[in-house]
Amino acid sequence: MPRNEAGRYRHIEVHPVAGALGAEIRGVNAAGALDDAVIAEIRQAFLDHLVIFFRDQKLTPHEQLAFSRRFGEPMEYPQLKGLTECPLITPVIKLAHEQINCGGGWHSDTTYLAQPPMASMLYAVEIPPYGGDTIFANQYTAYETLSEGLRRALDGLVGVNTSTKADASKTREDRLKAAGVAMKVLTSEHPVARTHPETGRKALYVNQGHTARFKGWTEEESRPLLDYLFQHQVRPELTCRFQWQPGSIAFWDNRCVQHNAVNDYAGFKRLMHRVTLAGDTPR
């Protein structure tokens, strides 16, 4: 039952947007001085619904950074440069002439790091007249809807994640070239099924953007099972879709959510500001 229906939220309104995950939060000015009680309820909604959305916000980069700090510690994004005036805010941009967007394809952010981010917060600065939605997928349910036998097998596996998988790395190439930054090769190993450190629930923790193989397996051996998991974990009934408006915020839990920025707005510019919040070592 949604928390607002059960009378659990006193300071905010929480409106689920889909059966699998996602909720819109109302009654919050993210640029304002928010009481600890309000922040606690937002944090609870974040854990309950995995991704939460705010509409009609007006944030400077420093205000967005201050809001994000109420939930965690901002970190530098490893492959892209931040804003000059606010380095912990990373611009996520696709120019009108560009064909490939940043964040296209299903993934959880930077799982090639030893300590991948806990969460990401994206703020819409400039959006196309249509298209450019983001889709999110619930990885708790992805794990829980696998057979008992497959869950047992996955519980003993470790995934090898890399920053150089072709589909993911090409979404950053234009930005890196423009900034004169060389592509780093980053690799890390994480459990295929990780336990969320706050909820205790298990989530499927492989993703098409970064997981190359299972530890101790070749890529050829890994491919059939990974391909099955990649298809299973983003089935429509596990997802919600967010239509951006100027001033919208999406705040999602990378420990149990994947996302996909839909690239369907050729000829138009899209500019978002992202804050990445530091996480722990997956277990």
* Active centre residues (catalytic): 107, 109, 259, 274
Residue type, 140: Y
What's the rounded Cα separation, in Å, for the pair 196 and 166?
28
Question: Tokens 């459990």 label which residue?
Answer: 191
Q: How far is CA 245 from CA 1, 63, 71, 250, 272, in A?
A: 28, 19, 23, 11, 11
The residues, any chain, with a CB within 8 Å of residue 196's CB and separated by 6 or more, are 140, 202, 203, 255, 256
Question: What b/e readout covers 87-97, taking b as 16+ CB neighbours within 10 angstroms?
Answer: ebbbbbbbeee
What's the rounded Cα separation, in Å, for the pair 147 and 217?
22
The DSSP output letter for 265 is -
What are the structure tokens assigned to 189, written together? 């190993």
